[in-house]
Amino acid sequence: MTAPRSTHSSFPVQARPIVADLFQPKPRLYWLDFLLSLLVAYGFAAIYLQSPLFSLQQWICWPIAAVALYRVASFMHEIVHFRSGEMRRFRIVWDLLAGIPMLTPSFFYESHNDHHNARHYGTDQDGEYLPLGTGPLRDIATFLIQILLQPIFVTVRFLLAPLTFLHPRLRRWTLERASSFVIDFRYRRRISATAPLRAWAWMDLACSARAWAIFVLCIVGVNDWSRVPLLYALAALSLGLNHLRTLAAHRYLNDGHAVSHETQVFDSTNITGVPVFTELLFPLGMRYHGLHHLFPRMPYHNLGIAHRRLMQSLPSDSPYRDTVYPSWFSVIRELVANSARHSAVADGRRSSVLSKTAS
């Protein structure tokens, strides 16, 4: 992985005093944002589901509902970074009103902590990282295909959830291998001795009941079967937005080795331009992903303020400045270029080896 132009160890130390007053979350803002987003999401989703098939009203409500649901789901990222016991009521209410109905329980995202672990970032113990910038272009295409498959996998996983309690080994395998929202499906979650297994079990069964209700209500005639593909389309669009965001969250240049905290920040991005588009694709301050990796516990509502302060106050050779991109498109262009260049180098080496073997 290419190192930043300046890797002085004082970089995080220099940055922290500049933003030291921005680490306290504002609970009222969290509640207001979440509840308003939820109202928009469920309101437009209801209109979308009840509209005549392929009507203009349905086509308009579909993306609005998907974007709002995506924003609601993104609070899961904030929740996983709360300290133990912090904003506990918010987490419970989020799971009851959003996590369970949307089949995205918060405990599925606790594996995110491995992504921020200095020893695990970019390695096989990081389920949210793939070496897309150093692999072939087909890896990027494969990553995007997940958008179409993941809603199906998640639904089937929750439909079968009650069966996972038939044997302790099966339950543990499920928690380790099929209970994390990741992009690297080889990831194996580590279950600590203090894990709240009972709470996870109740959330799992509640999500299972929700998944079964989708189909049972169609079987008994309460809902038309058209609701199933409509829900799939809604989930796929919301998930697609998240995948497009994830594709530009990092440079993905790590080849699987443990790296320093500073290099993690350098491998991440801060996207500052195209305000409306960027805000819709990167809700809750996710456009400042490099800053988030620098200070993971900073609440989303302070990330913009912190970024502006750092850009104004940090030295001109600070690695932080290398994380800034003007748009999502600029990150993707670099990602594709890096992937193509590494593919060309790999092909060249392969051809050289074949030539030597033939001779």
Rounded mean pLDDT, 273-292: 95
Q: Average pLDDT over the chain, rounded to whole?
A: 93
Rounded mean pLDDT, 123-142: 94
Percent of the chain's residues with pLDDT above 70:
94
The DSSP bridge partners found for residue 325 are 271
pLDDT higher than 70, residue 3 = no
pLDDT higher than 60, residue 190 = yes
pLDDT higher than 90, residue 351 = no
Rounded Cα distance, 106 and 166, in Å: 24
Rounded Cα distance, 34 and 111, in Å: 23
Rounded Cα distance, 99 and 118, in Å: 28
Rounded Cα distance, 39 and 64, in Å: 12
Rounded Cα distance, 280 and 331, in Å: 17
Rounded mean pLDDT, 140-159: 96
The DSSP bridge partners found for residue 250 are 268
Rounded Cα distance, 186 and 77, in Å: 21
Rounded Cα distance, 229 and 210, in Å: 16
pLDDT band at residue 90 using 50, 70 and 90 as cut-offs: very high
pTM of the model: 0.93
Q: What is the pLDDT of residue 359?
A: 53
Rounded Cα distance, 198 and 204, in Å: 10
Rounded to the nearest 10°, the torsion over CA 247, 251, 256, 261 is -120
Q: What is the pLDDT of residue 194?
A: 92
Q: Which two structure tokens, joined as six digits, stand for 5?
A: 């132009």
AA identity, residue 219: I
pLDDT band at residue 12 using 50, 70 and 90 as cut-offs: confident
pLDDT higher than 80, residue 9 = no
Q: What is the pLDDT of residue 256?
A: 86
Rounded mean pLDDT, 82-111: 96
Q: How many residues does the chain have?
A: 359
Element (H, E) at 325: strand 324-325
pLDDT higher than 80, residue 204 = yes
Rounded Cα distance, 257 and 124, in Å: 9
Q: What is the DSSP letter of 250?
A: B
pLDDT higher than 70, residue 292 = yes
